[in-house]
Amino acid sequence: MVGFDTLVVVCIVYVAFLFIIAFAAERHAQGGHAGWLRSPVIYTLSLSIYCTAWTFYGAVGYAARSGLEFLTIYLGPTIVFVGWWWFLRKMVRVGRMQRITSVADLISSRYGKSNLLAVIVTLLAVVGTTPYIALQLQSVTLSFDVFAAPAAEAWAPRDRTSTAFWVAVGLALFTVLFGTRSLDANEQHHGVVTAIAVEAVVKLVALLAVGVFVVWGVAGGPGAVLDRIDESAIAQWQGTGGRWVPLIFLSGAAVICLPRMFQVTVVENSDERHLATASWAFPLYLLLMSLFVVPIAVIGLAVQPPDANPDLFVLTLPLAFERETLALLAFLGGFSSATSMVIVAAIALSTMVSNHIVMPLWLRMREGTATVSGDVRNVALTARRLSIGGVLALGYTYYSFTSGSEALAAIGLISFVGVTQALPALVGGLFWRGATRRGAAAGLIAGFALWLYTLFLPSFGGSWLLPATILADGPFSIHWLRPQALFGIGGDDPLIHAMGWSLGVNTALFVVVSLLSFPSPLERLQGAQFVNVFQHSTGPGGWIGGSAAAEDLLIMSQRLLGAPEAQALFQAAAHRQGKEGNLPDPTREFIDLLERELSGSVGAATAHAMVGQITGGVSVSVEDLLAVADETAQIMEYSAQLEAKSKELAETAAQLRTANAMLTQLSVQKDAFLSQISHELRTPMSSIRAFSEILRDTRGLSQEEFQRFSSIIHDESLRLTRLLDDLLDLSVLENGQVTLHPEEGNLADLLDRAVSAVVPEPRDSRLKIRREPVLEDVPLYTDCDRLRQVFINLIGNALKYCDAAEPELRIKVRVNGTRVAVEFKDNGSGIPEGQQSLIFEKFARLSDHSAAGSAGLGLAICREIMRNLGGSISYMPGPGGARFRVSLPRRVAQAA
């Protein structure tokens, strides 16, 4: 017979064994040979903390009471791991990318690093997990009692409480030792995980051993067992079919939301690919764990006394057949189940409590001084150790209150419904960008409150927390507010009732409030990072480090990460930036990296707040930053528009400048022309006036003088008349009012007459004119007088302006189909390039001081004449003197 003392020794030896394993694993990992510690097998085995003492002992009891319904708690996780593998992969990816430390951290980080949400989820997790820890304490205590006092009547409540107390203390110590060795959760608890994997093996082996013993040792083979099952009540058990779907859903949701499951699935995950192995290996483990549940329950019911507790058949059956070693193995299996769950749950909860409640409070108390005084690293570790103690103390307190009030399975389900309240915010956050912080908070608070009211408080069974009268009649005797029958709906099954109400209202509020509210910029940013995690590879938006002093950041990081780690991180960053020395520039990338590193230690929200204190911003400044970014984008858009506008304006301005230059030039020409006209009119008038005054006032003029002065007056009058004729001529030509007089003629004849009009005595003239008479014989039908006027003008210009020492003018004629071209080319210096475009403008004179007697109208008149004759006159640029080409149809078109 195994005594109580023997059990204690066995327990201590077992724990020491675990301690050694954990210690060895830690050393191994620190030595850099993490190798097999990070294998998918260890990962899968660590997931088995889903199977707690509730599964180990309680499943048999569940089967004995409710038949095959116990399978639901295995089916849920199986469906999630097999069918929702992609969901878990996304959660793990997000967790690794954002350096997530817990469920609370994930939800907080997703909804704009909101600490409010983190606090709600933390409270939910603590309250939801406390009964579960109590459950483990209870199972260990019960199993002790089985050995210590086989007779149920001899149970002494005081002993049981003290057993639970010492178990709680022992677990707290173990957890503190291995759970808080390092601060960064992402350094991962290799020791703890390895110890848990070993425990997973122990509990599986123990349960299988008991099962094998029962099937082959007691019942006499599988066939006999199947017969017994057919005869037993379990086979007839119909259950309530309506419970299956909700229970499968509940256990599936719980495997995602349970803090300890999140810890091993996401936080302790070292390689995303391990999930692929776990997706089939973990369901296989669950299958093995459930393989012998029904046989043990059936045989237990058959051979044990009717008042025996079916939850303890795993222990009591071997004992009944005096297989004490097997019983001891079964005891260790149960002990393993309980301890592994408590250790991981305590680590997960303490991380949440210290990161989201203790550290923010501490930071707020010491606001502004976090950077210069106090060792944050020690504070964080102390907070975490105290939290572990607090969590176990809570569990123990709950156990003391409810000891023996419910069957194990019921407590487990209460806990499941509690932690499942995080599901809508979690799933919505990963898949729905429209999910907002307000929606998540509304859903969580409502679900949490409803769970407390309809399930958690009633579980105390009418204690002072929720008096029995309220349970029966509702608060203030308001009947429809009865905790287990809200609005009178679903009253017969409290669990399904509570689950329906809390999760239903939670989800509805989450969706509706999310739709009605608008996410903050940081939320939108994080939402995109989470929902599109597979497209994003960069971290979340963070600080602009311009004002952050790298030294201050280093001091703070040393406190959180430890001096060597922080210095190594900073050195590596400085090296990447290509800088000498140990301090990198506080660039945005570096600060983002640092924030991620720190969030592994203290959670995203706290890390954000701490970096914010140093970089000179508070968390609001991220929103400011985004607002600034928005404004910048707008300004850039405006400036792009402005640029386009200014380009447009520049083009318009260039056009206007060109037009203005043209107008200015024309205006200058017009002024010059008016001056010229004035000059041309006043000069002959001066002579006329002067000589007429002389004739009038002078007595005794000779006859010759009289003759001469009179003829000067006469000549100058003619000159005036000519000038006026030219002006009028130009005006008429320009207005198109000219009447042409076409007649038959010959080009040679026209040229002859033009030349003799300009140079009446060719031999005396200094200008030599060279012609090609043979080619000039071209019959024309045009206004010959007008055409001659043009020729006279061009020949006259050559005479006046050709500046060669021996001026020479060549006249060439070319017939081209129905047209004829006449070219006048002299050997002077020609017309400067810049002025070639101006010479045909009226009023144009190339200089104020060109030869007198011309008003600058000649070429303008020529152009108008040629236009009227259906031809053109142009200046041919090029070297070697002025060259004008006159082109016209050989037969002018009759005016219509």
Partner 1 sequence: MAEKESTDRRDADKVTGGRPQMGKHVLLIEDEPNIIEAIRFILERDGWRVSTHSDGADAVEAVGAHRPDVVILDVMLPNRSGFDILKELRGHDGTAALPVLMLTAKGQSRDRALAESVGASRFMTKPFSNQEVLASVRELTGG
Pairing of strands 819-826, 779-782: unpaired
Name the minimum Å distance from CB 683 to partner 1.
5
Count, residues near partner 1 per rule CB under 8 A: 24
CB 398 within 8 A of CB 133: yes
**Nearer to partner 1 among residue 320 and residue 720 (C-beta):** 720
**Nearer to partner 1 among residue 243 and residue 800 (C-beta):** 800
Of 322, 697, 704, 761, the one binding partner 1 by CB under 8 A: 697
Name the minimum Å distance from CB 706 to partner 1.
12
Contacts of residue 195, defined as CB under 8 A and 6 or more positions apart, other chains included, come to 18, 19, 21, 22, 25, 178, 340, 343
Of 712, 727, 740, 757, the one binding partner 1 by CB under 8 A: 712
**Which of 110-118, 473-481, 555-563, 848-856 is the region at the interface with partner 1 (rule: CB under 8 A)?**
848-856
Of 81, 451, 691, 801, the one binding partner 1 by CB under 8 A: 691
**Which of 81-89, 292-300, 499-507, 708-716 is the region at the interface with partner 1 (rule: CB under 8 A)?**
708-716
Query: In 3D, which of 150, 304, 144 has the Cα closest to residue 218?
Result: 304
Of 737, 849, 878, 896, the one binding partner 1 by CB under 8 A: 849
Name the minimum Å distance from CB 697 to partner 1.
5
DSSP assigned state of 464: S
Q: What is the DSSP string of 603-623?
A: -HHHHHHHHHHHHT--THHHH
Name the minimum Å distance from CB 869 to partner 1.
35
CB 485 within 8 A of CB 403: no
As a whole number of angstroms, the distance between CA 886 and CA 863 comes to 9
**Nearer to partner 1 among residue 647 and residue 689 (C-beta):** 689
**Nearer to partner 1 among residue 832 and residue 879 (C-beta):** 832
Give the CA distances from residue 505 to residues 56, 233, 306, 444, 450, in Å, rounded to whole numbers and listed in that order: 33, 38, 42, 9, 9
Residue 291 in contact with partner 1, rule: CB under 8 A: no
Residue 703 in contact with partner 1, rule: CB under 8 A: no
As a whole number of angstroms, the distance between CA 441 and CA 445 comes to 6
Give the CA distances from residue 410 to residues 241, 407, 632, in Å, rounded to whole numbers and listed in that order: 18, 6, 58
Contacts of residue 37, defined as CB under 8 A and 6 or more positions apart, other chains included, come to 25, 28, 29, 190, 193, 194
**Nearer to partner 1 among residue 658 and residue 675 (C-beta):** 675
Name the minimum Å distance from CB 712 to partner 1.
5
Name the minimum Å distance from CB 662 to partner 1.
23
**Nearer to partner 1 among residue 313 and residue 691 (C-beta):** 691
Name the minimum Å distance from CB 691 to partner 1.
6
**Which of 71-79, 100-108, 524-532, 694-702 is the region at the interface with partner 1 (rule: CB under 8 A)?**
694-702
Give the CA distances from residue 190 to residues 170, 422, 565, in Å, rounded to whole numbers and listed in that order: 20, 27, 18
Q: Which residues of 129-162 are buried (b: 16+ CB within 10 A; e: fewer)?
A: bbbbbbbbbbbbbbbbbbbbeeeeeeeeeebbbe
Name the minimum Å distance from CB 695 to partner 1.
11
As a whole number of angstroms, the distance between CA 320 and CA 147 comes to 11
Residue 694 in contact with partner 1, rule: CB under 8 A: yes
Site track for partner 1 across 671-690, x = CB under 8 A: ----x--xx--xxxxxxxxx
The footprint of partner 1 on residues 431-490 (CB under 8 A) is none
Residue 717 in contact with partner 1, rule: CB under 8 A: no
Query: In 3D, which of 872, 848, 720, 851 has the Cα closest to residue 798?
Result: 851
Residue 698 in contact with partner 1, rule: CB under 8 A: yes
Amino acid present at 27? R
Residue 116 in contact with partner 1, rule: CB under 8 A: no
As a whole number of angstroms, the distance between CA 569 and CA 557 comes to 9
As a whole number of angstroms, the distance between CA 185 and CA 26 comes to 14
The footprint of partner 1 on residues 616-675 (CB under 8 A) is 675
**Nearer to partner 1 among residue 375 and residue 671 (C-beta):** 671
As a whole number of angstroms, the distance between CA 570 and CA 59 comes to 52
Of 1, 365, 774, 852, the one binding partner 1 by CB under 8 A: 852
**Nearer to partner 1 among residue 683 and residue 746 (C-beta):** 683
**Nearer to partner 1 among residue 469 and residue 667 (C-beta):** 667
Contacts of residue 204, defined as CB under 8 A and 6 or more positions apart, other chains included, come to 48, 285, 288, 289, 333
Dmax over CA atoms of the chain, in Å, equals 178
CB 71 within 8 A of CB 290: yes
User: Which residues lie near partner 1 (CB under 8 A)?
Assistant: 675, 678-679, 682-691, 693-694, 697-698, 712, 715-716, 848-849, 851-852
